[in-house]
Amino acid sequence: MTTSTAVATGAAETDIGARARAARVAARQLATTSTAVRDQAMVAIAEALVARRQDILAANERDIDLAEELVAKGELTDPLVKRLDLSGKFASTVGMVRSVGSQPDPVGVTQRATQIDEGLDLFRVSVPIGVIGVVFESRPDALVQIAALCLKSGNAVLMKGGREAAESNRILAATITQATATVAGIPQGWISLLETRDDVVAMLALTDDIDLLIPRGSNEFVRYMMENTRIPVTGHADGICHVYVDRAADLEKGVRIAVDSKIQGVATCCAAETLLVHSDIAAAFLGRVVGELEDHAVLIRGDARTRELAGVLGGAIELASEEDWSVEYLDYVLSVKVVDSTEQAMDHINRYSSHHTDSIVTEDAAAANLFLCGVDSASVFHNASTRFADGFRYGLGAEIGISTGRLHSRGPVGLEGLTTYKYILEGDGHIVDDYEGDHPRPYTHLPLETVWRPRLGTHHQNDR
What domains lie within the chain, and their CATH numbers?
Answer: 10-109+128-237+413-418 (3.40.605.10), 241-390 (3.40.309.10)
Percentage of the chain exceeding pLDDT 90: 75
For the segment 287-346, what is each residue's pLDDT rounded down to a tens digit? 899 999 999 999 999 999 999 888 767 668 999 999 999 999 989 999 999 999 999 999
Mean pLDDT of 164-188: 97
pLDDT higher than 50, residue 414: yes
Give the pLDDT score at 66.
93
Neighbouring C-beta atoms of residue 104, cutoff 10 Å: 12
Distance from C-alpha of 96 to C-alpha of 386, rounded to nearest angstrom: 21
Model pLDDT, residue 234: 85
- At 336-391, the pLDDT tens digits run 999 999 999 999 999 999 899 999 999 999 999 999 999 999 999 999 999 999 88
Q: What integer pLDDT is reported at residue 267 of this predicted model?
A: 84
Q: Over 80: is that where the pLDDT of 152 sits?
A: yes
Which pLDDT score, from 0 to 100, does residue 237 have? 62
Q: Give the model confidence (pLDDT) of 438-452 as tens digits.
A: 899 999 999 999 999
H or E element, residue 383 = none
pLDDT of residue 433: 92
Mean of the per-residue pLDDT values of the chain:
90
Return the pLDDT at 454.
Answer: 61
Is residue 10 pLDDT above 70, yes or no?
A: no
Cβ atoms 245, 331 nearer than 8 A: no
Residue 16 above 50 pLDDT? yes
Element (H, E) at 192: strand 191-194
Residue 395: phi and psi, rounded to 5, are 85, 20
Q: Could you tell me which residues come within 8 angstroms of residue 176 by beta carbon, excluding any fewer than 6 positions away?
A: 45, 48, 144, 147, 191
Question: Is residue 258 within 8 Å of 289, Cβ to Cβ?
Answer: yes
The closest alpha carbon to 399, from 104, 148, 82, belongs to 148
Count the Cβ atoms, other than its own, within 10 Å of residue 393. 12
pLDDT at 3 over 70: no
pLDDT of residue 420: 95
pLDDT given at position 8:
40
As beta bridge partners, residue 361 has: 245
pLDDT score at 248: 97
* pLDDT for the residue numbered 67: 92
**Antiparallel, parallel or unpaired: β 212-215 and 318-319:** unpaired
For residue 185, count other CB atoms closer than 10 A to its CB. Answer: 15
Please give the single-letter amino acid code of residue 429: G
**Amino acid letter for position 30:** L
Nearest to 129, CA basis, from 30, 17, 216, 228: 30
Rounded to the nearest angstrom, the gap between the alpha carbon of residue 115 and the centroid of all alpha carbons in its chain is 37
Q: Which residue has the higher pLDDT, 262 or 310?
A: 262
